[in-house]
Amino acid sequence: MSENAALLTVLFAMIGGAIRVSTPFIFVSLGECLTEKSGRINLGLEGTLVFGAMAAYAISFLSGSPWLGVFVAGCCGALLGAVHGWVCKLPRVNDVAIGIALMTFGLGLAFFFGKPYIQPAAPRLPSIPLADWTGNASLATALKVNPLFFVGIALAVFLSWAFRNTRTGLILRTTGDSAAAARAMGVSVDRVRLLATTAGGFLAGVGGSFLSLYYPGSWSEGLSSGQGLMAVALVIFARWDPMRCLFASMMFGAAGAIGPALQSIGITQGYYFFNAAPYVVTLFIMIASSSTKGALASAPGELAVTR
Amino acid sequence: MSFKEMDRRTLLKSAAAGIVGVGAAGLPLRAFAAAPTIGIVYVGPRDDFGWNQAHAVAAKALKSVPGVKVVEEENVPETVAVQKSMESMINLDGANLIFATSFGYFDPHMLEMAKKYPKVEFRHAAGLWTKDKHPGNAGSYYGYLNQGHYVNGVAAGVVSKTGKLGFIAAKPIPTVLLNINSFLLGARKSNPKATVQVIFTGDWSLPVREAEAANALADAGCDVITCHVDSPKVVIETAERRGLLTAGHNASQAPLAPKGFITGAEYKWETIYKDFAALIAKGEKLPNYVRGGIDKDYIANTAYGAGASEAARKAADAATADLKANKPYVVGPLKDNKGNEVVPAGKSIDNYDVALEQTSYLVEGVVGSIT
């Protein structure tokens, strides 16, 4: 294989990886972004993601309709989000602690109900072949895209617009920045946060359905391996901006493809290092973009971490 | 704490003994001790299409043997939890033989239990037990899955058009390296120019990275893919979707790839388990060190799938016959992929040689490195 062809392989793999791997990150980080904008942290989205993956797979298997599975996964996620939002309404409850509790709860519940669905094969979500016309086989496979990916992009654009330009967005941001100001506006802070957490849970559930129904496309107990937690961290990395969430997720997916792609073209030394590429890249961007002043300026003022 | 537990346990034990005693007094005497009750502990779910499923299939076969009682527990972590599982199997179910099926169960957990219950036999499914260091009621059993991978390679070498085969491996430990090497040696037997491209994922179960690795191998031009990870489901399914041929690992993955499945390397633990059960029933001493491959029916290849051509089947059958006759397949001259000599010309490594279990290199033709 010539130098150029090898480089091209890695490039295609990274594009493909960005598209294939990023979708769950996009959904979970957008959901978390929404929740955190309202002034609350839901660390339980890893549990929501895995439960969503299980629910989607089970429903798709039982009903034969993967899209119904996606919807049910979202509803299950919304339910878990609502539990978080409702419990955090009670006085002197710590949202971080509840989040961790819900994460374990979601995982346990998913493993418990998911047992019978490890073996059977459920119908999967379809993909849109975008590059078949090019006649380039590897480009064609890299650009087989699942509709949920586009939904994720649209959602990021929409959220980014809605935060800035709609009344609902203003209320959400006010609640997140200053609960007192929101109350003075006559807004029920708890209700806004309950709704934001529920919506965030819905998105995380949908993200889970992508894992089990599209890529890698089967349900098993090790399916997520911490992606939900990484997505929550991505929100901080993206400074609570939906568009940046989208780019961070795609970059994370692309960087994740580096490890396997390099090994496949024969660059085999140091694969542990290349497998850590997503984290290394994240770390470097964090350092490069940090500033001594106002590093958390864009953080919602009501978040437990910034208060 | 431990005193309290001890008391409770002793109490339970004597109570159980009392009940048995009362029962025995009223009944004609029967040899209770000889009835094999076998406890099997799994580290993961029993239906993972992989390592645990291979053991669970054997457990099921064992249950059908009359007079044998089997108790199982799955998802037992490699912590003190496994000691508790074993104790409850021994004390509550009366197990007289325990199969610890995961690597990390051995030290200290199984060793502790072996010391505490000298009358119970313990066997570990890996190569850690040594005669001088460890208790006599413990031992190890293992099947040479590498022989199955060799047969996989022979068939894969025939059907591959590009001569590039892909291998997705978890970690570069000796068993994994041996399987990769065996796959290559098999492939080279049918196609002397074949190469095996290895991707190490870094851990036993990382579904997303395994799928990425399968895609990367497909993009690099490999047309047959096999793997050594805990659950090959994701790898086989992803490869099938990409239209590649696949060879299996640990258990049967044939149903996952109706179009591209060639054959797979499968453990047949039931052969070992049934032997042990029969020995207990006869009241004979169990062997401490059990090894075997295709020759002893400890390993078998999955029935050929649609991906295996007529020629591939013939070549694989011939390779199986050679292994049944215990003919060595690691034959010199052989170099590792850094150019160092591993086996000199005219020599070979015997199938039962411990050197194979200690493989620390990738042979020439494997594209990949251990670090």
- The predicted-structure confidence for A261-280, as pLDDT tens digits, reads as follows 888 888 878 888 888 888 88
Per-position b or e across A134-149, b if 16+ CB within 10 A of its CB: eeeebbbbbbbbbebb
Task: Select from B126, B106, B40 the least CA-distant residue to B75.
Answer: B40
Q: Which of B75, B201, B208, B241 to mutate to test the interface with A (most CBs of A within 10 A)?
A: B208
Q: Which helix (H) or strand (E) holds A145?
A: strand A144-145
H/E element, B245: strand B245-250
Nearest Cα residue in chain A from B214: A260
- Give me the domain span that covers residue A258: 3-124+137-306
Among left, alpha and beta (phi > 0; psi -120 to 50; other), residue B254 is alpha
| CA of A170 vs chain B CAs: smallest distance (Å) | 38
A173 domain residue, yes or no: yes
Torsion of CA A100, A103, A109, A111, to 10 degrees: -120
- CB–CB contact B219 A264 (8 Å): yes
Q: Is residue A238 included in any domain, yes or no?
A: yes
**Order of strands across the sheet that contains B289-292:** B69-73, B37-41, B97-100, B121-124, B138-143, B289-292
Q: Which residues contact residue B162 at a Cβ distance below 8 angstroms, ignoring those fewer than 6 apart?
A: B221, B222, B223
Q: Answer whether residue A154 is part of any domain.
A: yes
Which tokens in the block code for residue A191?
């209700």
Q: Which residue of B has its CA nearest to A215?
A: B208
Checking if the pLDDT of A129 tops 60, the result is yes
Task: Using the structure block, give the residue that is written with the tokens 């390296």.
Answer: B177
Q: What is the Cα–Cα distance from A201 to A52, expressed in whole angstroms?
A: 9
Q: Please answer yes or no on whether A256 and B256 come within 8 Å at the CB atom.
A: no
B168's enclosing H/E stretch is: strand B164-169
pLDDT tens for B269-288 read 999 999 998 898 888 889 99
A12 chain-B contacts, CB cut-off 8 A? 219
Helix ranges, chain A (H): 3-37, 45-63, 66-89, 95-114, 137-142, 147-165, 167-177, 179-184, 189-213, 227-237, 242-264, 271-275, 277-289
C-alpha dihedral sign at A201, A203, A208, A213: positive
- Nearest residue to B48 (alpha-carbon basis) of B264, B252, B261: B252
Above 80 in pLDDT, residue A41?
yes
- Tell me which residue in B212, B218, B219 faces A21 most closely, judged by beta carbons: B212
The answer to whether residue A244 scores a pLDDT higher than 50 is yes
Residues 6+ positions from A91 with CB-CB distance below 8 Å: none
The count of domains in chain A is 1
For residues A93-108, average pLDDT: 93
| Per-position DSSP letters for B55-94, written without gaps between them | HHHHHHHHHTSTT-EEEEE-S--SSHHHHHHHHHHHHTT-
Residue at A131 is within a domain: no
In this prediction the ipTM stands at 0.87
Distance, in Å, from the CA atom of A272 to the CA atom of B352, rounded to the nearest integer, reads 33
On whether any CB of chain A is under 8 Å from the CB of B40, the answer is no
Question: Is the pLDDT confidence value at A136 over 60?
Answer: yes
Round to whole Å and give the CA distance between B123 and B110.
9
Contact B48 A220 (CB under 8 A): yes
* Residues on chain B touching A16 (C-beta within 8 angstroms): 215, 219
Alpha-carbon span B179 to B161, nearest angstrom: 22
For B91, the token pair is: 């004390």
Selecting from B216, B222, B367 the residue whose C-beta is nearest the C-beta of A260 gives B216
Are the beta carbons of A115 and B219 separated by less than 8 Å? no
CATH of the domain at A172: 1.10.3470
How much is the pLDDT for A237? Answer: 83
* Inter-chain residue contact A263 with B197, CB threshold 8 Å: yes
Sequence-distant (6+) residues with CB within 8 A of B360 are B174, B177, B370
Is A222 close to B206, i.e. CB distance below 8 A?
yes
Q: Which amino acid is at A94?
A: N
The distance of Cα B240 from the centroid of its chain, to the nearest Å, equals 24
Chain A interface includes B200 (CB < 8 A): yes
**Residue A181: inside a domain, yes or no?**
yes
Cα(A50)–Cα(A227) distance, integer angstroms: 9
Distance CA A185, CA B77 (A): 53
Nearest CA in chain B to A223: B207
At B3 the pLDDT is 45
- Pick from A21, A214, A264, A274 the residue to mutate for testing the B interface (most B CBs within 10 Å): A264
How many other C-beta atoms lie within 10 A of the C-beta of residue B34? 12
Residue A237 domain-assigned (yes or no): yes
Contact A118 B208 (CB under 8 A): no
Using an 8 Å CB-CB cutoff, list chain A residues near B209. Answer: 256, 259-260, 275
B contacts of A261 (beta carbons < 8 Å): 216, 219
Q: Tell me: pLDDT of A150 over 70.
A: yes
Q: Are B262 and B247 in contact (CB under 8 A)?
A: yes
Interface residues of chain A, partner chain B, Cβ below 8 Å: 1, 9, 12-13, 16-17, 20-21, 115, 118-119, 121, 138, 141-142, 211, 215-218, 220-223, 225, 227, 256-257, 259-261, 263-266, 268-272, 275
E strand or H helix at B317, and its extent? helix B310-324
Whole-Å CA distances, A192 to A84, A172, A197, A235, B20: 13, 7, 9, 20, 65
User: Which stretch, A189-198, A248-257, B11-20, has highest mean pLDDT?
Assistant: A189-198
Span B17-69, pLDDT tens digits: 544 444 444 443 334 446 889 999 998 888 888 889 999 999 999 998 888 99
- Which of A263, A265, A269, A279 best probes binding to B when mutated, by most B CB atoms within 10 angstroms? A263
Q: Does B369 contact A at CB distance below 8 Å? A: yes
d(CA A253, CA A247): 10
Ranges of residues in chain B with a pLDDT under 50 are: 1-5, 18-33
Nearest CA in chain B to A217: B234
Q: Is A7 inside any structural domain?
A: yes
A1, closest residue in chain B (CA to CA): B220
Residue B246: CB partners within 8 Å, gap ≥ 6?
Answer: B224, B225, B226, B235, B236, B239, B240, B253, B257, B260, B261, B262, B307
Q: Phi and psi of B289, rounded to 5°? A: -130, 110
Query: Which of A111, A268, A272 is best to mutate for the B interface (most B CBs within 10 A)?
Result: A268
- Say if A56 falls within a structural domain: yes
Q: Please tell me if residue B233 touches chain A, with a CB cutoff of 8 Å.
A: yes
Judge whether B135 is closer than 8 Å to chain A, CB to CB. no
Judge whether B256 is closer than 8 Å to chain A, CB to CB.
yes
